[in-house]
């Protein structure tokens, strides 16, 4: 049984996305497998009005969902940094949730600690350890860049491990 998962690392300036295809083998003759479909970021320029930046996220996310046709979306839960930054991330996250709901996608959410635990076995792992785990799980000979895209792939893999 094949499943496409879209992972999202929400942000207003940079929103990371990662899409994977997972194969669960029922017969257990072959092991389960996961393959990279694509990853990247949606950038919105800082000099642009916030409403327009949110519209860019909205439009680009619709395009991604239509392109990748995921059966499941995974998103990182909001983590509090600075209050001004948190509000902008929350606004971007609201747009993400709206787009996913409009496409009737089931959504799973994970905290940063849950993602680290799923990929490294340690909830306080550093970013480098998580990125190395992403590369290893996807059989890549490189760490995906930028960091926001690697984080989105980590969220997608966490959803896969939990399914």
Q: Which residues form the catalytic set?
A: 9, 76, 148
Give, as one character, the DSSP assignment of residue 7.
E
- Annotate 67-97 with DSSP letters as a single string: HH--SEEEEEPP----HHHHHHHHHHHHHHH
Residues forming beta bridges with residue 22, ordered by sequence position = 3, 34
Half-sphere exposure of residue 102, counting CA atoms within 13 Å on the CB side? Answer: 13
Cα 126 from chain centroid (whole Å): 18
Is 34:22 a contact under the CB 8 Å cutoff? yes
């Amino acid at each position: 049984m094949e499943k496409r998962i879209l992972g999202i690392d929400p942000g207003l300036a940079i929103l990371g996305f990662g899409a994977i295809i997972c194969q669960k083998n029922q017969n257990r003759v072959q092991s389960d497998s996961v393959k990279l479909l694509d990853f990247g970021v949606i950038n919105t320029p800082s000099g642009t009005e916030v409403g327009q930046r949110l519209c860019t996220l909205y439009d680009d996310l619709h395009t991604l969902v239509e392109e990748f046709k995921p059966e499941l979306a995974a998103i990182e839960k909001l983590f509090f940094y600075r209050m001004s930054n948190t509000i902008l991330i929350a606004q971007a996250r609201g747009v993400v949730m709206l787009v996913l709901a409009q496409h009737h996608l089931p959504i799973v959410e994970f905290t940063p600690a849950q993602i680290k635990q799923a990929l490294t076995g340690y909830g306080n792992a550093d970013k480098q350890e998580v990125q190395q785990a992403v590369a290893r799980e996807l059989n890549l000979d490189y760490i995906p860049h930028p960091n926001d895209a690697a984080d989105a792939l980590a969220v997608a893999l966490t959803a896969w491990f939990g399914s």
